[in-house]
Amino acid sequence: MPFISLLLNEFVVFYRTIHLTLGIILIYDLFFMEVKIIMKKIIIVGYELSGFGGTETVCKKCASLLSQDSADVDISFIFFKENKNISNDTWLKGMKFKRIFSQIRNPTLRRIHFAFQFSMYIKQENPDLIIAISTRGCYISNLARKISFTKIPVFSWIHLSLYSAYKAIFTLKADYHLSISSGNSNYLINNGVHNNKIHTIFNPISRTSIIITRPKNISRFIYVGRIIAGEGKNLQSMFHALSQIKGRWELNILGSGDDVGILQSLAADLNIEQKVLWHGWQVNPWDYIINNIKEVTALLLTSTHEGLPMVLGEANSYGIYCVSSDCKTGPSDIIQNSMNGALYPVDRPDLLVNLLQDIVSGKPLPNSIDIKNAIEKFYDDNYLSRIKSALNIS
């Protein structure tokens, strides 16, 4: 009897141990199954970037915001590279990235080559979704998933105006669209994309308590961006308009580009060279402005086309008034006339002259705090909510 009793006790202990172990295993499996369900593995893909543009800035900031907000997001970058030139990877510090190379000369065959290589990476990594930051990236991503026999959703995230982007029609190869402007959203709708597949998320702007004040005895204008005289940034239009302004003003230019010499010659021809100050390209332009230029009346932008010109929102975040062309996509999403700036039609430079003359003549501008508040929807926290909703990230 004692032996049977001991045996029964051992059996009970063994049964309880097995039951507890199975319970722990079940809980472990359920936990990690849940992690697998909510984990988002995202690949951001596109052609090689220079490392100095607005696309890089927005990509890095978006990845940072998502990663800081949720540990359950895994973001990596894939770049299609057509040459062996040395790349600037400074902006990619702390992020996962890989390059895919092809030196095939025929553009169509080169895209197929990129797609074949990318398809192997897709099979290896098994991402939850792909975000293409270029029109050709949309085409390649769509082809790559077909080659890999997967149904991974592809999002477009184009940082240019779709009305002027190269091969813009390739964007329609994506399943869904992260649109940076109302204008780009309209382009997609006009090309047959259903509204429920378009998420107009804009771009993020960081809040700051700093206010860059206005000078009292001079109108100090700034331009921040690439130095392009004609089509694109259209700085020649800015110079011609300023040459007609009566009163005290100066233009401070921060940026670099091939047209610096052309514009310096134009300034001399227009007899405004003494009023145009060249500061060159700055790694942190707003820190430079705060420490060196110190006071600003307004930021000027005379572009013929833009995607979403973040420089307008950045200026507004410091309380700076903006005067911008109302090109097809971008500025009208940011600038609300009389609240944080003024818009004029691209083909009406005479109206630009009127706006600038009013400022130099002392027309009262909106309060800096009101200018900051006018771009509330662009601030990081509101942007993060939109992109998480678009990508279905909890």
Over the stretch 44-64, which tens digit does the pLDDT of each residue have? 999 999 888 889 999 999 999
Residue 18 lies in a domain: no
Contact status, residue 191 vs residue 172, Cβ threshold 8 Å: yes
- Do residues 239 and 199 share a domain? no
What is the pLDDT at residue 394? 82
Contact status, residue 42 vs residue 129, Cβ threshold 8 Å: yes
Residue 17 lies in a domain: no
Torsion over CA: 93, 121, 86, 280 (sign): negative
Torsion over CA: 237, 243, 245, 248 (sign): positive
- Do residues 130 and 253 share a domain? no
- Do residues 199 and 264 share a domain? no
Domain containing 125 equals 37-204+379-391
Tokens of 390: 């678009």
Residue 68 lies in a domain: yes
What is the pLDDT at residue 136? 98
Contacts of 156 (CB under 8 A, 6+ apart): 131, 132, 135, 138, 171, 174, 176, 177, 178
- Beta strand ranges found along 65-205 (DSSP E): 73-81, 96-101, 129-132, 154-156, 176-179, 198-200
Please give the tally of structural domains in the chain: 2
Q: Average pLDDT over the chain, rounded to whole?
A: 91
Residue 4 lies in a domain: no
pLDDT digits 0-9 by tens, 109-168: 999 999 999 999 999 999 999 999 999 999 999 999 999 999 999 999 999 999 999 999
Contact status, residue 46 vs residue 133, Cβ threshold 8 Å: yes
Nearest CA among 29, 390, 334, 60 for reference residue 323 = 334
| Dist CA 378 CA 385 (whole Å) | 11
Residue 260 burial (CB < 10 Å; 0-12/13-18/19+)?
middle
pLDDT digits 0-9 by tens, 85-102: 888 889 999 999 999 999
Residue 31 lies in a domain: no
Residue 21 lies in a domain: no
| Dist CA 391 CA 155 (whole Å) | 9
- Do residues 357 and 385 share a domain? no
- Do residues 308 and 326 share a domain? yes
| Dist CA 189 CA 183 (whole Å) | 10
- Do residues 232 and 199 share a domain? no
Tokens of 321: 């008034």
Residue 211 lies in a domain: no
| Dist CA 275 CA 261 (whole Å) | 16
pLDDT digits 0-9 by tens, 279-321: 999 989 999 999 999 999 999 999 999 999 999 999 999 999 9
**Identity (one letter) of the amino acid at 228?**
I
| Dist CA 130 CA 175 (whole Å) | 10
pLDDT digits 0-9 by tens, 200-256: 999 999 999 999 999 999 999 999 999 999 989 999 999 999 999 999 999 999 999
- Do residues 196 and 248 share a domain? no
- Do residues 191 and 224 share a domain? no
106: left (phi over 0), alpha (psi -120 to 50) or beta: beta
Tokens of 249: 């003003």
CA-angle at 240, arms to 289 and 351, nearest 5°:
90
- Do residues 356 and 383 share a domain? no
Residue 226 lies in a domain: yes
CATH code, domain carrying 242: 3.40.50.2000
CA atoms within 13 A on the CB side of 29: 6
Q: State the DSSP string of 47-80.
A: E---SSSHHHHHHHHHHHHHHHH-TTEEEEEEEE
- Do residues 170 and 294 share a domain? no
Residue 105 has pLDDT above 70, yes or no: yes
- Do residues 194 and 320 share a domain? no
- Do residues 371 and 384 share a domain? no
| Dist CA 354 CA 361 (whole Å) | 10
